[in-house]
């Protein structure tokens, strides 16, 4: 019998009960003992569910109190010095301190887990030698075995991945750190072996990236050490999110199993197996069910793939697995009552994926006619969506194909547009502006609730929004900003707002996934052809512009960001989806222009995170991402000034692409890592308008004038003063009223000082 396996299960619970528990504990509403007890209940429920569905190999130790990378660091006693931890088992106060900060110590940095929207806490190797504080995998294994009779497969973040994701040490110390960590890993594994554990899942997603010769050598050292130290423990060396680089090095390692992703790196992994074979003494964990997407799989197609694999791996050595942990998908489709049937029938969240795995494992083992029929029927149900109206908007498909084959170019190059725009706008040197949103006060949120519940009619809501706009237009004028915004009071979320107004989107009631810690997001599903249905932002923007003589920027979310923050259909390419979105947004840009709005910002904070993991695919992605942006923004008049905004990320590797977006002005979040970003402008010149955020909006702290003047001065050492704008790092939605006004006043003061120094220009 071929076995089914799951690499990890979502923690948050079908009703986000996990999130609620964490938050109750943080706010002091829950005693620690009760907190542990209730989390245990959730953890056991999740294991029981997999057991009842018939999953053969269930991951244990996938559960977390916050994040699995933080768990790993904590297990090794890797606690930054500022938390003054003195040894022993790490208390929850320190654990959550690292994640969220305490009154005395700032939180550790958080960053994206490979190319997903999940954020992990970056381990800081700041000196103290690691020690094993507790054997978490062993505890998880025992619990599953004693309480549920499950022979679990403990999952552990592998040493190479852990090291590569950590920071705070010199690269020249990598081997020293490995030397400290490796014995602790060995100790964990030996204890597991002694316990009688059969298999361990060693997660090494770093294997899908290019590794240096030194890292390959480390990999070898690590897994040879394990093979010698725990000869009776089987290690499944698990990769995911792409095909592995260095296939032959990896399959030559002395481990008993290799887990590969046959969804996101399928072609690469298959061609490696076909070309180089798969070692006869190893088990292949075949990740064929998508752990990241929300769609059902065509089980016939998956079966064919698995049968293909059996030409290289014997059936007894095959495990039918999820492609990665199911952490990245919502829990269950069961509670969704509002989706159209064709769509609901096509979706599989975590629980439904368990069924797919079991069915598929059965089908590979016994190719009876009955099973074949079952698979055929399954596939038929999920294919109905192909015939839906939403997927067959031929008009849109044709127009988008035609438009995307054209050049997306503004009629004048920047250097000439700039002069025309200067003449029209007469802006002072260092124009000041903000990124779009102003504080969403309790009052704003309450108004939206009342309106959504039907307690307020449209008129009441609209007049409330207008009042807010009035308040903030006045304030912005009084503070002395040059380019104003309407404040985005009508929006909860920058993607949802547009998704709700465009065709082709669906929204779930409960499709939450963990983004970081207790924070969950509910991404929309782009399931059909995206189409413009009517103006989305014109009313509010036009209203705001009618209240002032100064220019008001229209505010849109860009195509790539909308796409990257949604679950998307898989029958067409991401590139095509981006063009459909771009065409729809372009119609919004044109509508704004016709309504007299001549500064339009198209936000693309998520452009960098869509970058493929494989270096050789990155250029192509950037090319079509830039093209999509230009498709939105290139049909405007010369005087229309296009702005864009990006949140902080490592821009140094894509500055050229940013320039190619050809936005008249870009604002970038900078203040948290000022040095690094500025440094990239030392190496590359940037020839368009640019505003580097002069203060951090993530903190309630009011920035001092001098801090901002020195930031401005540093930036002006590498950027052309004539093209320089002054703005905060990002939108001000999450900030309070008083601090926002005070901070902006200081920003304007800092600008005046800078203007004084550059008055000769």
- d(Cα 141, Cα 280) in Å, to the nearest integer? 29
- Pattern 442-481, ligand GLN, x by CB under 6 A: ----------------------------------------
Please state the closest distance from residue 78 (CB atom) to Zn ion, in A: 31
Q: Which residue in 181, 197, 730, 744 binds Zn ion (CB under 5 A)?
A: 730
What is the DSSP pairing of strand 513-516 with strand 519-521?
A: antiparallel
Please state the closest distance from residue 479 (CB atom) to ligand GLN, in A: 17
* Cβ proximity to ligand GLN, 10 vs 436, nearer residue: 436
Q: Which residue in 319, 339, 555, 661 binds ligand GLN (CB under 6 A)?
A: 555
Which of 598, 743, 729, 599 is CA-nearest to residue 667?
729
Which of 432, 421, 437 is CA-nearest to residue 692?
432
**Catalytic residue check, 328:** no
Q: Which residue in 133, 135, 437, 545 binds ligand GLN (CB under 6 A)?
A: 437
Q: Is 670 one of the binding residues for ligand GLN (CB under 6 A)?
A: no
- Specify which residues 140 forms β-bridges with: none
- d(Cα 206, Cα 503) in Å, to the nearest integer? 38
Please state the closest distance from residue 434 (CB atom) to Zn ion, in A: 11
* Cβ proximity to Zn ion, 544 vs 647, nearer residue: 647
Q: What is the 3-state secondary structure (H, E, C) of 159-221?
A: HHHHHHHCECCCHHHHHHHHHHHHHHHHHHHHHHHHHCCCEEEEECHHHHCCCCHHHHHHHHH
Please state the closest distance from residue 487 (CB atom) to ligand GLN, in A: 9
* Cβ proximity to ligand GLN, 272 vs 468, nearer residue: 468
Count of beta carbons in the 10 Å neighbourhood of residue 696 = 19
Q: Which residue in 5, 285, 523, 605 binds ligand GLN (CB under 6 A)?
A: 605
Partner from ligand GLN, Zn ion, none binding residue 693, C-beta < 5-8 Å depending on class: none
* Radius of gyration, CA atoms only, the chain: 27
* Cβ proximity to Zn ion, 299 vs 494, nearer residue: 494
The DSSP annotation for 421-477 comes to HHHHH-PPSS-B---SB----HHHHHHHHHHHTTSS-HHHHHHHHHHHHHHHHHHHH
Q: Is the dihedral of CA 579, 581, 586, 587 positive or negative?
A: positive
Q: Is 602 one of the binding residues for Zn ion (CB under 5 A)?
A: no
- d(Cα 237, Cα 321) in Å, to the nearest integer? 13
Q: Is 69 one of the binding residues for ligand GLN (CB under 6 A)?
A: no
Q: Is 494 one of the binding residues for ligand GLN (CB under 6 A)?
A: yes
Assess contact for 130 and 159: CB atoms under 8 A: no
- Catalytic residue (choose from 398, 652, 679, 698): 698
Stretch that binds Zn ion, among 191-199, 252-260, 300-308, 727-735 (CB under 5 A): 727-735
Q: Is 668 one of the binding residues for ligand GLN (CB under 6 A)?
A: no
Runs of H (alpha helix) within 536-573: 538-546, 559-564
* CA 578 from centre of chain: 17
Stretch that binds ligand GLN, among 431-439, 464-472, 649-657, 690-698 (CB under 6 A): 431-439
* CA 447 from centre of chain: 30
For the chain, what is the largest distance between any 2 Cα atoms, rounded to a whole number of angstroms? 85
CA separation (Å) from 88 to 77, 130, 133?
A: 8, 12, 6
Please state the closest distance from residue 742 (CB atom) to ligand GLN, in A: 18
Q: Is 273 one of the binding residues for Zn ion (CB under 5 A)?
A: no
Residue 338 per-residue DSSP state: S
First-last CA distance in the chain = 78
Segment 712 to 731, residues that bind ligand GLN, using CB under 6 A: 730-731
Q: Which residue in 261, 352, 529, 603 binds ligand GLN (CB under 6 A)?
A: 603
- Pattern 626-655, ligand GLN, x by CB under 6 A: -------------------x-x--------
Segment 726 to 755, residues that bind ligand GLN, using CB under 6 A: 730-731, 733
Please state the closest distance from residue 485 (CB atom) to ligand GLN, in A: 8
Q: Which residue in 436, 504, 610, 703 binds ligand GLN (CB under 6 A)?
A: 436
Assess contact for 750 and 694: CB atoms under 8 A: yes
Please state the closest distance from residue 445 (CB atom) to ligand GLN, in A: 15
Q: Which residue in 647, 658, 663, 668 binds Zn ion (CB under 5 A)?
A: 647
* Position of minimal CB gap to Zn ion: 730
Residues belonging to the active site: 698
| Site residues (vs ligand GLN, CB under 6 A) | 435-437, 488, 494, 555, 603, 605, 645, 647, 730-731, 733
| Site residues (vs Zn ion, CB under 5 A) | 605, 647, 730
């Amino acid at each position: 019998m071929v076995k089914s396996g799951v690499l990890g299960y979502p923690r948050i619970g079908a009703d986000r009960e996990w999130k609620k528990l964490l938050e109750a504990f943080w706010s002091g509403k829950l005693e620690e003992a009760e907190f542990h007890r209730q989390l245990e209940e959730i953890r056991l429920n999740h294991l029981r569910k997999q057991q009842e569905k018939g999953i053969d190999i269930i991951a244990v130790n996938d559960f977390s109190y916050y994040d699995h990378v933080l768990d790993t660091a904590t297990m090794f006693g890797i606690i930054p010095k500022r938390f003054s931890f003195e040894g022993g088992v790490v208390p929850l106060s320190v654990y959550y301190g690292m994640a969220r900060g305490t009154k005395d110590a700032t939180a550790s940095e958080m960053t994206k887990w490979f190319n997903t929207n999940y954020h992990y806490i970056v381990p800081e190797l700041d000196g103290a030698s690691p020690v094993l504080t507790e054997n978490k995998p062993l505890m998880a294994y025992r619990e599953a075995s004693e309480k549920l009779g499950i022979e679990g497969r403990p999952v552990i973040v592998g040493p190479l991945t852990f090291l590569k994701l950590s920071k705070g040490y010199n690269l020249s110390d990598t081997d020293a750190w490995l030397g400290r960590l490796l014995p602790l890993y060995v100790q964990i594994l030996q204890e597991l072996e002694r316990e009688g554990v059969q298999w361990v899942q060693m997660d090494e997603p770093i294997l899908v990236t290019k590794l240096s010769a030194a890292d390959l050598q480390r990999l070898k050292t690590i897994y040879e050490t394990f093979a010698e130290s725990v000869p009776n423990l089987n290690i499944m060396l698990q990769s995911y999110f792409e095909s592995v680089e260095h296939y032959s090095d990896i399959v030559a390692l002395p481990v008993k199993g290799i887990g590969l992703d046959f969804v996101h790196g399928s072609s690469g992994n298959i061609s490696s197996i076909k070309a180089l074979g798969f070692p006869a003494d190893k088990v292949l964990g075949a990740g064929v069910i998508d752990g990241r997407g929300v769609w059902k799989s065509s089980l016939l197609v998956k079966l064919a793939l698995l049968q293909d694999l059996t030409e290289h791996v014997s059936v007894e050595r095959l495990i039918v697995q999820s492609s990665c942990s199911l952490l990245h998908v919502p829990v269950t489709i069961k509670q969704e009552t509002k989706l159209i049937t064709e769509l609901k029938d096509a979706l599989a969240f975590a629980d439904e994926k368990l069924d797919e795995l079991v069915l598929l494992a059965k089908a590979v083992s016994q190719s009876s006619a009955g099973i074949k029929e079952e698979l055929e029927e399954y596939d038929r149900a999920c294919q109905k969506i192909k015939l839906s109206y939403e997927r067959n908007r031929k008009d849109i498909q044709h127009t988008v194909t035609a438009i995307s084959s054209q050049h997306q170019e503004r009629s004048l190059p920047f250097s000439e547009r700039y002069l025309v725009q200067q003449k029209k706008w007469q802006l002072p040197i260092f124009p000041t502006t903000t990124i779009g949103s102003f504080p969403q006060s309790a009052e704003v949120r309450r108004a939206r609730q009342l309106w959504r519940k039907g307690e307020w009619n449209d008129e009441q809501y609209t007049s409330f929004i207008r009042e807010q706009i009035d308040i903030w237009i006045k304030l912005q004028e009084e503070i002395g900003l040059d380019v104003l915004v309407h404040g985005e009071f009508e929006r909860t979320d920058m993607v949802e707002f547009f998704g709700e107004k465009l065709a082709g989107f669906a929204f779930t009631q409960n499709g939450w996934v963990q983004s970081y810690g207790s924070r969950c997001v509910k991404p929309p599903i782009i399931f059909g052809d995206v189409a413009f249905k009517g103006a989305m932002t014109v009313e509010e923007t036009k209203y705001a512009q009618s209240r002032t003589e100064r220019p008001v920027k229209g505010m849109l979310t860009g195509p790539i960001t909308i796409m990257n923050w949604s679950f998307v259909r898989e029958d067409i390419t991401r590139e095509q989806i981006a063009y459909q979105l771009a065409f729809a947004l372009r119609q919004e840009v044109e509508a704004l222009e016709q309504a007299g709005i001549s500064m339009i910002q198209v936000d693309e904070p998520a452009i960098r995170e869509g970058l493929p993991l494989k270096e050789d695919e990155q250029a192509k992605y950037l090319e079509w991402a830039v093209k999509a942006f230009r498709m939105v923004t290139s049909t405007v008049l010369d005087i229309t000034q296009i702005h864009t905004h990006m949140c902080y990320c490592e821009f140094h590797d894509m500055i050229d692409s940013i320039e190619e977006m050809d936005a008249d002005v870009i604002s970038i979040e900078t203040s948290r890592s000022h040095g690094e970003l500025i440094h990239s402008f030392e190496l590359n010149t940037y020839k368009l308008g640019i505003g580097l955020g002069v203060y951090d909006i993530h903190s309630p702290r009011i920035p001092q004038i001098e801090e901002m003047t020195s930031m401005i001065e540093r930036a002006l050492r590498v950027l052309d003063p004539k093209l320089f704008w002054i703005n905060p790092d990002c939108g001000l939605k999450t900030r309070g009223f008083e601090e926002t006004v005070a901070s902006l006043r200081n920003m304007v003061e800092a600008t005046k000082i800078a203007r004084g120094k550059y008055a000769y220009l």
